[in-house]
């Protein structure tokens, strides 16, 4: 799609929509102009009601070929107001010559839950950030401790960069595949009172 429609075409939507993730390919000879454009839209967006955050992430060689733009608003209404605003329409029009025609758009309520595949669609308000921070720390601390003191002796003689790569990969696998799904199931009544336990999608 070439733009964000007011109907929010997306892979996941919830009643508490607040985040938009856009990925697009920037024309090789337009990168400098795109960076300037991104800084401009971030400045204008920051003045909009309900604005929370804006990030522009460049491609990572061998991992991600597209630029990623991620922005958040406090409520679905504030996000919709921005999407429908004249200021945004003018800025999007200016970007048309900088990027390839096809954009990918995703709208979600919680980046963390979306990443883990645990977002209960159209059911409840997303947990507060402070609760997610506590839950995430509760899973991350024992995972890092286990890897540091439990199995790090296996790779302690490897080059440092290799140690970091292996330990990070193990942390991600344990966190997303075992630790966080379990913690979310155990704490879902505290995170989102009145909802069913989330299901982990493999």
Distance CA 26, CA 59 (A): 10
31: tokens are 């990168």
Distance CA 183, CA 170 (A): 18
54: tokens are 């804006």
**Token pair 């995170």: residue:** 191
**CB neighbour burial string for 59-98, b if at least 16 within 10 angstroms, e if fewer:** eeeeeeebbbbbbbbeebebbeebbeeeebeebbeebeeb
The predicted structure's pLDDT at residue 195: 64
pTM: 0.47
Helices (H), the chain: 31-45, 76-83, 86-95, 111-116, 129-146, 160-174, 180-191
Element (H, E) at 107: strand 104-108
Distance CA 173, CA 61 (A): 22
Contact yes or no for 100/25 (Cβ under 8 A): yes
Element (H, E) at 57: strand 51-57
Per-residue pLDDT of the chain (202 residues; tens, 9 = 90+): 333 443 333 323 344 457 888 888 899 899 999 999 999 999 999 999 989 889 888 887 766 778 888 888 888 888 889 989 999 999 989 988 998 876 555 555 454 444 444 444 444 566 778 888 898 889 889 888 888 887 777 877 888 888 888 888 888 888 888 888 888 888 888 887 766 655 544 4
For 106, list phi and psi in degrees, rounded to 5: -135, 135
The predicted structure's pLDDT at residue 102: 64
> Rounded to the nearest 5 degrees, what angle is found at the Cα of 47, between the Cα atoms of 50 and 23?
75
The predicted structure's pLDDT at residue 60: 76
């Amino acid at each position: 799609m070439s733009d964000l429609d007011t109907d929010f075409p997306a892979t996941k939507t919830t009643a508490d929509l607040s985040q938009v993730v856009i990925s697009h390919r920037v024309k090789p000879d337009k990168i400098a102009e795109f960076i300037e454009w991104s800084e401009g839209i971030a400045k204008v967006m920051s003045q909009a009601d309900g604005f929370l955050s804006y990030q522009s992430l460049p491609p990572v060689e061998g991992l991600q070929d597209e630029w990623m733009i991620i922005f958040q608003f406090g409520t679905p209404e504030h996000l919709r107001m921005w999407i429908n605003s004249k200021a945004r329409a003018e800025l999007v029009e200016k970007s048309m010559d900088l990027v390839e025609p096809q954009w990918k758009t995703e709208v979600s309520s919680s980046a963390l839950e979306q990443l883990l595949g645990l977002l209960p669609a159209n059911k409840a308000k997303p947990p507060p950030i402070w609760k997610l921070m506590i839950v995430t720390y509760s899973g991350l601390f024992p995972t890092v401790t286990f890897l540091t003191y439990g199995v790090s002796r296996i790779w302690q003689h490897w080059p440092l960069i290799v140690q970091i790569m292996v330990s990070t990969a193990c942390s991600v696998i344990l966190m997303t595949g075992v630790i966080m799904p379990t913690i979310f199931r155990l704490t879902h009544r505290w995170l989102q009172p009145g909802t069913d336990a989330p299901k982990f999608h493999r």
